[in-house]
Amino acid sequence: MGVPGHWLLALTLSVCGTASSALAVEPVAPLELIVLGSGGPGALGRASSSYLLLLDGKPRILVDAGSGAFVRLGEAQVSLQGLDTVLLTHLHVDHAAELPGIVKARAVSAGHPIHFDIYGPRGRAADANGAAFPATSRFVSQLFGAEGIFAYLPDFAAPVTFRTIDLPVSAAAAQEPRTLVNAAGLVIRSIAGHHGDAPAIAYRVEYQTHSVVFSGDIDAQGLPALTTLAANAELLVFHAVVLDPPGSPAILYTLHTPPAAIGTLAGRCRVHALLLSHLSPAVESATAAVTASIRKHYTGPVTFAADGMHWHP
């Protein structure tokens, strides 16, 4: 497997007793990614989907907050003082369940008012095609609002406020990326994805000259929109759950993208490097076959994610 940008296996370095010295010699990168969770919903040793982005060495952006991310955040030994933006790809448990704990950790680390901008998909009503999902704004309100489950939290350790932005998920919304942030060298864009009946969003984060794209969980219907968003990305984080047909249960292909299609998209978009995450046991046990399938259409570096992994250009 190739190595995109610069990778540090932080957990391995810690076992060897050299983490602090190894990290100390690294210059501060403009944009850095820490994989907090590289697994799915199964309790199989990996935290569920979650990523932390650092700008100029300071943690600023959380992408998803799956189960186990809270522990991995502590293991990363990073300050939460600047964490102010949350990008939720969708509201499945393995992508959003850890948000309350992370918000509280941020609050107890501060002695001053803090604020979060939280972005995520609009909701959908239940119908014959699937279950109901709340809008992200309702999800946040039900957690932290005056009548919410954790209503105590916004005034518990430090005043906490939220601005929640519900992003459109219709087919029309998937035509062109939407700019969410454009300030001080940071640009965040989104586009509607597709993950079965769950409203879903893909994100692109750019800082200075660097860029990372997050597919979220995405099926074949979402790939045209993701192609628009991912063009020439420095790193594409793609969730790899299924094998090429017929290697996985048929129902999973209505929710996820097989390796051949991942490779086709990565090649078409000319992404500089591909990081496969949200790994299932099936993919973990067939990494050679998955890589070979991707290689038919994509010649750039391919890496399988691990909890605690760092990337920077």
Q: Which of 89, 44, 95, 90 is nearest to 69 (CA)?
A: 95
Terminal alpha carbon distance of the chain? 17
Asked if the model's pLDDT at residue 184 lies above 70, the reply is yes
Pick one of 3.40.50.720, 3.60.15.10, 3.40.920.10, 3.30.465.10 as the CATH number of 7-20+28-312.
3.60.15.10
Asked if the model's pLDDT at residue 10 lies above 90, the reply is no
Asked if the model's pLDDT at residue 12 lies above 90, the reply is no
| Measured distance CA(80)–CA(109) in Å, rounded | 7
| Measured distance CA(159)–CA(113) in Å, rounded | 5
pTM of full prediction above 0.75: yes
What letter does residue 63 receive in the DSSP assignment?
E
Q: What is the pLDDT of residue 5?
A: 52
User: Which element (helix H / strand E) includes 56?
Assistant: none
Q: Which of 152, 143, 137, 145 is nearest to 98 (CA)?
A: 143
Query: For 21-35, how does the pLDDT look when each residue is reduced to its tens digit (9 = 90+)?
Result: 444 456 789 999 999
Could you tell me where the beta strands, DSSP code E, fall in 148-262?
160-167, 178-183, 186-192, 201-207, 210-214, 235-239
Query: For 74-115, how does the pLDDT look when each residue is reduced to its tens digit (9 = 90+)?
Result: 999 998 889 999 999 999 999 999 999 999 999 988 778 999
Average pLDDT, stretch 11-30? 50
pLDDT band at 59 (very low <50, low <70, confident <90, very high): very high
